[in-house]
Structure 1
């Protein structure tokens, strides 16, 4: 298998499917161009929004392994799309909830592109539940906040991880116009994505808006964080591969002293270092995706290893790509700045490398 997530073949015998999915995604996203907006309807028609939705709800019944392929190609193209907030986080959270008419309808509408939900999972920090429910004489009241929520400003449904009155983790389904709930756009340096601050101050919540997780709710909360961190690691891997390919291609055609700069030893060494970083990132991300799909006991360690390394490596690789492109690399025309800003945001989104390394170190205490 030539797939970047080749070790996923240990989990299933769908390597050929991943290759085909990757080829279609690369072709579709490549036509839009790096940093360009991708038509959400086109993504919906391709079936990417409903990869993990059950077949009974017009989904593909696939796993996170297939979603990871798309996320990686999104990073390779630096695509401007709500895929992270909608398909990876919101749809993933819906799949973890108890089935019901409202939940099933929203999941089906998400798969078809008719609904644009966002999961208010904080972009930084360790806590998934930024909200809490309190019971009062007038019913349930919602309090809390989540900052840097992917794709929140344009969402028509908000899924809020919260602790219920009894301390049980739940998901509160609300709309942006819910009383006491506000969404404020958060400008970031990366123009390919958008984030929002979701705040609830004595928000009014009906009992029908409180949805329960299937099985262990604490484990489900942790899984949401693992999904988010792994998806960002996949995105970082994709953009790292794009920068390596672009740099090697440029070094083969750019000449100095009547020689391609790729023939200079210093450039060769720099490209070799980039290749090593990409290769290590690929192995770690592959292991994290496989662990997440298998839901093994060491999934947290695998995710933290992938997120900490791939996030930091992407910034280093993109910086080297800019340097090796010379003066051209610092121009808007090169497009490298788009990848550098995206890599810098990925490094801190859903846990910085230092935060994830601390989690890894905890297993030795």
Structure 2
């Protein structure tokens, strides 16, 4: 019996790739032939090829869709056009039964080419309000899934539904003892894990490093600081382990953590929620983004699952005070998390996606 083919797309940040990573094992188990369309130099290239080297990765041209003035706004549409033609050729060659898009700039030409090729397109939106790429993709989609129920008011009602969060099954398989061993920690102190996003955050990094001696009095510290943002002088500091980026080690590091400091990307914070980890969120400000992380963080704070420190208010003192507040309320946060809805499994999400296949 001939395998059905599915095309996955999404990229630009780890958040636009993680759900695709989560569902690939299930798709393979269900005997789908999987093709991934991503950019030539985005983070998705590394993430997919490292974890799934056997999957056919198709690199296309991709232009960033900006809301601000830039010279590249004149040249990037040409790259998007080229990416559309490249996607069209790929889709007509591999003949997928369905296309699943996780968003990001690279997904727009893929979604458009899928519609023109009469292939059902399923789009997934993780944030409270749709990103620009997904807004452009919506008219070409057969169906749109959201994580937050609040998102549905921003989506076309006749072809949208809330799937809830989907968590990679391997995250639940981590072991704190392995996390301690990776970092060289004894396990005698609670562990503070800092995640500044796949690209790192200068503000979060500075908040940690300026307070490091005080933090090390109470915690062992795991710091995911972003590519190219490691501080060579700190590699020898006892109780402090910095990584530019991690992949397979992440489940073990998450299980080792007692408290997490993070940006407020939807995928990450739902992973922390699923693992019942008290969190201090420092969302990207509206100056640097469209404000989606602020909305994500506000919803988590309202539910009692997180404390929020806005980026503009971050300084060494405010950071320490906010972290103390989380530590004081950690048990109460965990109790509230226990009553939250469990995330969908990758198997459940695959059933939803493939129900739209030709």
Q: Same fold (TM over 0.5)?
A: no
Q: What is the TM-score with the length of structure 2 in the denominator?
A: 0.28
TM-score, normalization: structure 1? 0.28
Normalized per residue, which structure has more helix? 1
